[in-house]
Amino acid sequence: MYDAIVIGGGPAGYVAAVRLASYGFKVALVERRYLGGECTNWGCIPSKALIEIAHGLSIAKQLRRAGINIGIGEVNRSKILEWIKRVVLRSREGIKYLVSDVDLYEGEASLKSRNEVIVRRREGREVIEGKNIIIATGTEPSEIPGVRFDGKYVLSNRDFFELKEIPSSVLIVGGGIIGVELGSALARLGTEVYIVEILDRIISMYDPDVSSIIMKYLKRFGVKVYLRSTVKRVEVSDGVVRARIVSRDGESMDVNVEKVLIAVGRKYNTKGIGLENVGVKTHERGYIIVDERQKTNVGNIYAAGDVTGPPLLAHKAYREAIIAADVIAGAEEVPPKEPIPEVIYTTPEVGVAGITELKAKEAKINVQIVKYPYAAVPRDYTVLERTPEGFIKLIVEGSTKRIIGGVIVGNMASELIHVLALAIQKRLTLKDLSEVIYAHPTYSEMIGEVAHLGLGKPIHIKGQHT
């Protein structure tokens, strides 16, 4: 009998398995397809590789302004995806090495009882036993009414990264994180991009000032964005996809593209894994309900990662995996689950931690909003691809001056946001951030600058001291 059986080899699953093995436990890991799950194979890793290529092309073009002329030939759309697939394979092989001390089963898993898991493999059906079980089955891409994935013309993010070459034109349904990341990168590589978003603005989960800057850059890259609109019909004829876009006002238009990419959300992988056999409870939205220690309502069964609900992020999955493994190993104290930093790898990048300005106002929390522009950051003047419209924004608790939220839009936001996450987690104040000495010239200086500004003592921006 295993000490633990982990179902799913994505970010939550493989981390939980590795953590348990490090404690000396006998662990089985069941994965039906590829180690690394969504993030490694069709999400975080391939999309960031694509974004890096787009950024590199942009830098090469910007070098001309600095006196270095680099000849740029035609974009080889097939080689780009070949390179991305090699990146994915390297990442997947790294994970395979990490789980070398774990018994890996390749197949479909389902719960037979509280201590038994059925594994359906090519070789046949097998039942394995475990004292504890961790469910980390993740999510699947969601379709939209009337438009189904076909893997050739109408694509999920998974289908997209299985293509032979980058399409010359694409309509992206959904102006959320996946939509704006891929749309931005593809447009910079020369793809004609359309984005259709049902709501009033893109990435609407964040503050309007974030949406407006990303919208500005998307338009600068040539992306055509249709807000308050939906895709009602998709037809394929002679290898061309015709999609009908209908606005909230009832106006419609047809666009012809090579591919349609659906990026409207995810559905939880809780069907067909035997939850009903043991009585594991799920939320009405489909995800598995867990407590602060990742326990389900069934004593020895845990869940971690996307299958436990939003936010659907790999680093959230990592933390939940560590908690589940540590609890199984007998830990009384577990690390905190918040704040969870969120990043959008557009140009410019976006980083968010803690509460947003919009959410603070909706909750009627007394806050001070402090905002400092990238235009006042010397380091941003030295780079080839500036983001002068960007900003750093602190959401500060009014009475204590404690940092409870932070937003960064601009270069290096994906790295800088962790300083604000640390400030939130450790309950730091404006004064605490202002007392750090920041190297010059760096983007990190902004953190000190915005803290001084919030205290009424601005340094590199005009303003009267208070």
| pLDDT over threshold 90, residue 71 | no
* 391 and 275 in a common domain: no
pLDDT tier for residue 215 given thresholds of 50, 70 and 90 = very high
Which among 217, 172, 214, 215 has a CA at the least distance from the CA of 197? Answer: 172
| pLDDT over threshold 80, residue 251 | yes
| pLDDT over threshold 80, residue 466 | no
* 83 and 52 in a common domain: yes
Q: What is the model's pLDDT at position 408?
A: 98
Last residue of a domain, one of 211, 236, 264: 264
| CA 220/CA 197 separation, integer angstroms | 18
* 75 and 179 in a common domain: no
* 274 and 251 in a common domain: no
For residues 333-352, average pLDDT: 97
| pLDDT over threshold 80, residue 464 | no
The percentage of residues in the chain with a pLDDT greater than 70, rounded to a whole number, is: 99
Q: Single out the catalytic residue among 55, 283, 315, 440.
A: 440
* 108 and 172 in a common domain: no
What digits encode the pLDDT tens for the residues 171-199?
999 999 999 999 999 999 999 999 999 99
For residues 49-60, average pLDDT: 95
Those residues whose C-beta lies under 8 Å from the C-beta of residue 86, and which sit 6 or more positions away, are none
| pLDDT over threshold 90, residue 98 | yes
* 252 and 280 in a common domain: no
* 136 and 17 in a common domain: yes
| pLDDT over threshold 80, residue 463 | no
| pLDDT over threshold 70, residue 213 | yes
465 within some domain: no
Respond yes or no: is residue 440 known to be catalytic: yes
- The strand pairing partners of 65, in sequence order, are none
Q: What is the model's pLDDT at position 287?
A: 97
Q: What is the model's pLDDT at position 430?
A: 98
Last residue of a domain, one of 328, 362, 378: 328
| CA 308/CA 292 separation, integer angstroms | 11
Average pLDDT value over all residues in the chain: 96
464 within some domain: no
Q: What is the model's pLDDT at position 465?
A: 64
| pLDDT over threshold 80, residue 66 | yes
CB 224 within 8 A of CB 193: yes
Q: How many domains does the chain have?
A: 3
What digits encode the pLDDT tens for the residues 344-383?
999 999 999 999 999 999 999 999 999 999 999 999 999 9
* 280 and 260 in a common domain: no
| CA 104/CA 7 separation, integer angstroms | 10
Coil vs helix vs strand at 411: coil
* 409 and 391 in a common domain: yes
CA atoms within 13 A on the CB side of 57: 20
Which among 61, 60, 101, 54 has a CA at the least distance from the CA of 77? Answer: 54
Q: Output the DSSP codes for 425-461.
A: HTT-BHHHHHTSPPPSS-TTHHHHHHHHHHTT--SSS
438 within some domain: yes
Q: What is the extent of the structural domain holding 104? A: 2-140+267-328
| CA 379/CA 373 separation, integer angstroms | 12
* 323 and 203 in a common domain: no
CATH number of the domain within which 421 lies: 3.30.390.30
382 within some domain: yes
For residues 55-77, average pLDDT: 90
100 within some domain: yes
Last residue of a domain, one of 213, 237, 264: 264
| pLDDT over threshold 80, residue 12 | yes
CATH number of the domain within which 71 lies: 3.50.50.60
Q: What is the model's pLDDT at position 425?
A: 97
55 within some domain: yes
For residues 143-160, average pLDDT: 94
| pLDDT over threshold 70, residue 289 | yes
* 309 and 255 in a common domain: no
**Is 357 exposed, middle or buried, given 0-12, 13-18 or 19+ CB atoms closer than 10 A?**
buried
CB 214 within 8 A of CB 205: no
For residues 20-28, average pLDDT: 98
Q: How far is CA 407 from CA 64, 87, 401, in A?
A: 32, 30, 16
* 432 and 370 in a common domain: yes
113 within some domain: yes
459 within some domain: no
Q: What is the model's pLDDT at position 74?
A: 85
CB 13 within 8 A of CB 38: no
